[in-house]
Structure 1
């Protein structure tokens, strides 16, 4: 059983989650006619939806449930964006984020914010299966299921909201086990009411999300069969856990029930889609890309060879089947998540030891073991594994970055700097490279290292301004570089995007009182105060207050 040391934080998080997204689970009436009279989309405008989604993500970060890692984030965002670009609403902006929890779950909420638990990735065998879940959640957004849920909740979900407000009041104003028990009772009552109202939602919206999700999966170049295989995998997990210490059902199945009929329908849709697709493989000296291509009205014979058509490039291969090579990056991401979601790095090492006793570790698992050694402070051991893997996969970003960090932890600063500088020259705007290098630099705690870290991070400030981990690193770099104003602004941004909006406002108002501000710095701070103030007022209206500030 995994330890949960922050029980009180878990309570507050659960309460906030239900408060903000309970309405997503409320059922919409099944409507087979064109949606002419629905007000979905007018209940909340796009900017309001995005702001509620941002607030939810900020609170999840505040309670420590979001897994902040630039490599994992980049992989997840790339996978999700690939699907979103071919969805029914490619103009919708999506934000994908990873949760630390090892339970199997994912959810969509307002503004295109989609969260996925680390446990779901660990349960998947291929990137296609992860993409299947993302495609399903994307469909919940593009088909306005979330907005329809909000519309219905505004009409008749007062009991749910009252229960949630009561749970928040208890959790914020009282302590001890009795408060926890009372809050959990309120949550159980509210969630029971939600579960009772869930049936129609699963029968109509879930079916539509499956149908649209499989189509999006196919359009994005993934195997449409992956949705059915992921459903079967989750069903298998639920049977394995029956009667054990863990819950009988994965969390995902509680809100997305899987039946034999649903699996059969997913298989049937996938089979029909597969008839119209082929797989293309494009190879370059550094990488191989496998994509599915629609061939409307064309039959591709089995065994088609590139040399049969001299107009095709020699690097292109076609096949009538869908036997794409597994994604190496998915393997790295899954094993990195195994380490980052473990209770401690040493616990992750013990997990790999158990896996090794059952059979030799594959390359992805060896990568995970190296990451675990790195995070436990064993830089030399990590470097040995990374070096061996780089011999097999030269130029791989995940391995190059890991070796650079391992060199730094092993005390080989010059070697680490050479590797980081080479990576920066190759990928100057890659967040994982920039943040990895900056993190190493700030540990040296010298003004020169701080200025170099600032220079490395500054080109990425615009694209990563909403990342609290990025802002914290930039704040620390600015501090040791002797730039207190920039440091203060960055700390405030880290607080804002980390769910401490009131603290961000206090920090900016304090920073504004400095005598050494120039015109531009004062203008930036004034503008940010004007932007954050309405957010804080809205949070207060909803009953969300910063407990640290209230105790002052």
Structure 2
């Protein structure tokens, strides 16, 4: 399933973020922020850390090329939850998300948010290597390294907490840009906040490796991946992005290698899900379709990677070039051998829609939905296919049911908004548009959408009027709080 979005600039988002974190706010998710406008922060309770994380996530949605890809999201979330279930000191739910960026990087911030660049999985040799980085980032959160670093700066009058977190936001999204911002200000104290200390890295290495082992992965992969990154430093003027915020002195590589050798050797079978996710990233995000076709044809001749995953990547490359017959030949064979594989189901749906066979796609997904109701890959593809088949009422039912379980799912909200537009349900369309905008912290525009919705409400629809007016009041209150700053 492919959805392309437009995003506002990073600088605008950072300015908005600095305002957002300077005064307590109550959003529709009912979180309340502490006053972070000065450096006199005495403590950062867990609930406040979560609240900060939610606001930072709003800005990342607006400033970054987030990937709204249900099948990749399903894979990453499943892997992340497996690691979290085997971690210690977990205090709140974790949320994992992808950024379309070829840099080798991952980052974690307040409240259990973990972002992963597509470049990380593209460069990982196996699932254990990929999981080792996630385990490391999970450890940064469970040990509250960022929160502890902020508290260490509470007596530094030269650095406001608001400015500090804005710098962190810049750096986790685009490390080069973020560090340049700090360097321009010549604030060494701020730069030290953007890179984890040696002790924090050692702690995250140790705890992350334990988590990796407990989850059934190969802990020695932590050493393998760091060694791979260290090798890249020797041949590149600019180090991988991950190393800009995760320092890698030789002593750290040696420490990780020695610690990994304390674990018994473990033979981990190849993960088809990992290989399919890697092929999907290479085919759809790292390469242009024609280049991807050349790459996968070459790899298939060399037998250098999982054959099924390479065929899947080649099928995507054909599909994205509208070479439907070639794509169908591959996908038919893959589905025959593994009919319930979510990667294949998702891409086969795109193929049917591309062939103007939306009705066939609806029937195909209706059967899948019986056995896995409300699975995000099946449900969202089902709704998307129904919209293409002009079965908007069916799509609306699917999406509303899905959002009851996952009310904050961004792609589902966008699809519901588009579905209302197709049906010319103007009240519902503008209300849904407001809900999408609120996820980005764009409360002025959200208020405008609610006002537009009110203009189309019938005089007899009193309950709907009252509900919309309450939403309008809420958005305007949030905006007034920002305007007072």
TM range, smaller chain: 0.7 to 0.9
1:84 aligns with 2:84: yes
Match of 1:465 in 2: 407
1:340 aligns with 2:335: no
SS in 2 for 1:462: helix
Provide the residue aligned with 1:295 in structure 2.
none
> 2: distance between equivalents of 1:166 and 1:85?
31
CA distance in 2, matches of 1:381, 1:420: 22
- What residue is the counterpart of 2:214 in the other structure? 219
Matched position secondary structure for 2:114: strand
Q: Is residue 72 of structure 2 the alignment partner of residue 129 of structure 1? A: no
2:340 counterpart residue number? 395
Say if 1:53 and 1:113, in contact at 8 Å, map to a contact too. Answer: yes
* Counterpart for residue 368 of structure 1: 313
1:434-445 counterparts in 2 under 5 A?
434-444=379-389
Deviation per CA, 1:207-230: give whole Å up to 9, x if none: 111111111112222221121111
Give the aligned partner of residue 521 of structure 1: 464
C-alpha displacement of 1:331: 0.9
How far apart in 2 are the matches of 1:87 and 1:236?
A: 29
Question: What is the CA–CA distance in structure 1 between the aligned matches of 2:53 and 2:482, rounded to whole Å?
Answer: 13
Larger radius of gyration: 1
- Contact residue 96 and residue 113 of structure 2 kept, 8 A: yes
Q: Name the Cα RMSD after superposition.
A: 3.6
Counterparts in 2 of 1:81 and 1:531: CA distance versus 1, 3 Å: farther
Tell me the residue number matched to 2:416: 474
In the TM superposition, residue 19 of structure 1 has moved relative to its aligned partner by 10
Could you say which residue in structure 2 is the equivalent of 1:236?
231
Q: TM-score, normalised by structure 2?
A: 0.81
8 Å CA contact retained: 1:92, 1:142: no
Name the counterpart of 2:442. Answer: 500
Which residue of structure 2 lines up, in the alignment, with residue 262 of structure 1?
252
Is 2:356 the partner of 1:406?
A: no
Mapped contact 1:15–1:164 kept (Cα < 8 A): no
Distance in 2 of aligned mates of 1:151 and 1:518: 51
1:268-317: per-residue Cα shift (whole Å, max 9, x none)?
A: 3334343xxxxxxxxxxxxxxxxxxxxxxxxxxxxxxxxxxxxxxxxxxx
Deviations 1:209-266 (A, max 9, x none): 11111111122222211211111122223334x25xxx2x101112212234323332
Deviation at 1:515, TM superposition (A): 3.0
Query: What's the CA shift for 1:104?
Result: 0.8
Distance 2:465 2:109 in 1: 36
Instruction: Out of 460-469 and 360-369, give the one that drifted further.
Output: 360-369
Ranges in structure 1 where 5+ consecutive residues have no aligned partner:
1-5, 22-38, 168-181, 275-320, 543-552
**Would the alpha carbon gap of residues 432 and 215 (structure 1) be closer, same or farther in structure 2, given more than 3 Å must change?**
same
CA spacing shift, 1:7–1:440, aligned 2, 3 Å = closer
Query: What is the deviation of 1:197?
Result: 2.8
Relative distance call for 1:251 and 1:398 in structure 2 (3 A) is same
1:50-449 correspondence runs (5 A): 50-156=50-156, 158-159=158-159, 186-190=181-185, 193=188, 197=192, 201-240=196-235, 242-243=236-237, 247=238, 249-274=239-264, 322-342=266-286, 344-353=288-297, 355=299, 362-444=307-389, 446=390, 449=391
* Structure 2 gaps, min length 5: 1-5, 22-38, 168-176
1:487, 1:70 → 2: CA distance? 23
Distance change (3 Å), C-alpha of 1:137 and 1:200? closer
Comparing 431-440 and 82-91, the one that deviates more: 82-91
Report what 1:283 is aligned to: none
When residues 522 and 77 of structure 1 are mapped into structure 2, their CA distance, relative to the original with a 3 A threshold, is: farther
Q: Which string of whole-angstrom CA distances, capped at 9 and with x for unpartnered residues, describes residues 20-73 of structure 1?
A: 99xxxxxxxxxxxxxxxxx99963443433232222222222234211111111
Q: Relative to 1, partners in 2 of residues 1:187 and 1:261: Cα closer, same or farther, differing over 3 Å?
A: closer
CA distance in 1, matches of 2:369, 2:189: 50
Shift of the 79–163 alpha-carbon distance from structure 1 to 2, 3 Å rule, reads closer
Which region of structure 1 is more displaced relative to structure 2, 382-391 or 370-379? 370-379
Matched residues in 2 for 1:191 and 1:72: separation?
A: 39
Question: TM-score when scaled to structure 1?
Answer: 0.72
Larger relative contact order (C-alpha < 8 A, sep ≥ 6)?
2
Change (3 A) 1:163 1:45: closer
Shift of 1:189: 2.0
Provide the C-alpha distance between the structure 1 equivalents of 2:328 and 2:18, rounded to a whole number of angstroms.
44
**Number of residues paired by the alignment?**
452
1:454 Cα offset (Å): 0.9
Q: Give 1:491 shift.
A: 1.5
* Matched residue SS, 1:155: coil
> Greater CA deviation, 339-348 or 7-16?
7-16
CA distance in 2, matches of 1:330, 1:198: 33
After TM superposition, give the deviation of residue 461 of structure 1 in Å. Answer: 0.7
Pairwise CA distance, 1:360: 6.8
CA displacement, residues 178-215 of structure 1 (integer Å, 9 cap, x when unaligned)? xxxx9996543247625763699422111111111111
